[in-house]
Amino acid sequence: MTPPPEDWTFRPAGDRTLVLEFGQIIDGALVDQVIALDARIRSAVQAGEVSGIVETTPTFRSLAVIFDPLMTTPAELLEQIRTLDYQHSTPPDTQAQHWTVPVLYGGDAGPDLASVAQQTGLTTERVIELHQQTRFKVYMLGFLPGFAFLGDTPAPLHLPRRREPRLRVPAGSVAIAMQLTGVYPWDSPGGWHILGNCPVPLFDGHQSPPALFKTGDTVNFTAIEKEPFNDIRIAVESGAFLRSSLTGSRR
């Protein structure tokens, strides 16, 4: 349930953004609160209950509300948000989708798998098993277009970031750090531990929406071998790959 407005902290961020803060930690319960408020504000905008809001951006622990300063002021916007019926917010999972994403674990695709196993005292097989068994939730998008921060990685796999970040992490890399898992949609510097690689593009400017995941979606990873990994890559490159093959469905 969304907390009462007096429990939030409101902070201005420039002349057209108001940030509503729910807490100071990465926590699934806080994420649900952010998603619930985001859904309620979006529905209020569509219904004409509030005015001047341009868009919203959810994060782990806060919601940025971007507004048109020619239509409303921060004080007026706060009053509009406070008068919304929070007790009947749209449930966070109403628009969520579930995705099953293939991953080639280990080898060149997952150069840190053995190191993660060693640091956690587990076998590589157990690391993969734990990662596959987890139903992750998209906590937020950020860092790169289409990069989803997924929680929570199983506790036995919690590790700090690598001491020495890589200058180049290949696109598709599935990596972990702290309680989070992420899939790099682009070649990028990065300091997370790479377990494997996903052949599916997580961001495609020709698709609508361009990003595969959105905040609130859930994700399972499933291990595949080299041959099906290559087959998917060929299908992607030829334009024959369909997002629907990932069994995205509303929950």
C-alpha 246/C-alpha 213 separation (Å) is 11
- Residue that is last in its domain, among 69, 88, 107: 88
- Residue that is last in its domain, among 58, 88, 118: 88
Claim to verify: residue 81 and residue 110 sit in the same structural domain: no
Claim to verify: residue 179 and residue 203 sit in the same structural domain: yes
Give the domain range for residue 110: 97-250
Q: 211: part of which helix (H) or strand (E)?
A: none
181 φ, ψ (degrees, to nearest 5): -120, 145
Per DSSP, 159 falls in state B
Q: 22: part of which helix (H) or strand (E)?
A: none
Residue 99's pLDDT is what? 95
Claim to verify: residue 115 and residue 221 sit in the same structural domain: yes
Q: Identify the residue whose tokens are 């030829």.
A: 238
Claim to verify: residue 226 and residue 116 sit in the same structural domain: yes
Residue 93's pLDDT is what? 47
Claim to verify: residue 9 and residue 65 sit in the same structural domain: yes
Report how many domains make up the chain.
2
Q: Return the beta strands (E) in 142-192 as ranges.
A: 148-151, 166-169, 173-177, 180-183, 188-190
Residue 248's pLDDT is what? 56
Claim to verify: residue 128 and residue 175 sit in the same structural domain: yes
Claim to verify: residue 105 and residue 130 sit in the same structural domain: yes
Per-residue pLDDT of the chain (251 residues; tens, 9 = 90+): 445 556 678 888 989 999 999 888 898 888 988 888 888 898 889 888 888 999 999 999 999 999 999 999 989 998 888 887 654 555 544 578 999 999 999 999 999 999 999 999 999 999 999 999 999 999 999 999 999 999 999 999 999 999 999 999 999 999 999 999 999 999 999 999 999 999 999 998 888 889 999 999 999 999 999 999 999 999 999 988 888 888 755 54
Residue 71's pLDDT is what? 93
Claim to verify: residue 64 and residue 24 sit in the same structural domain: yes
> Could you tell me the CATH number of the domain that includes residue 225?
2.40.100.10
Residue 80's pLDDT is what? 87
Q: Are 145 and 155 in contact (CB under 8 A)?
A: no
Residue 9's pLDDT is what? 85
Which residues, other chains included, contact 11 with Cβ-Cβ below 8 Å and sequence gap of 6+? 18, 19, 21
Claim to verify: residue 78 and residue 109 sit in the same structural domain: no
Residue 245's pLDDT is what? 84
Residue 228's pLDDT is what? 96
> Could you tell me the CATH number of the domain that includes residue 15?
3.30.1360.40
Residue 69's pLDDT is what? 93
Claim to verify: residue 163 and residue 122 sit in the same structural domain: yes
Claim to verify: residue 114 and residue 82 sit in the same structural domain: no
Residue 92's pLDDT is what? 47
Residue 36's pLDDT is what? 86
- Residue that is last in its domain, among 67, 88, 109: 88
End-to-end CA distance of the chain: 19
Residue 19's pLDDT is what? 94
Residue 140's pLDDT is what? 94
Residue 95's pLDDT is what? 73
Claim to verify: residue 68 and residue 24 sit in the same structural domain: yes
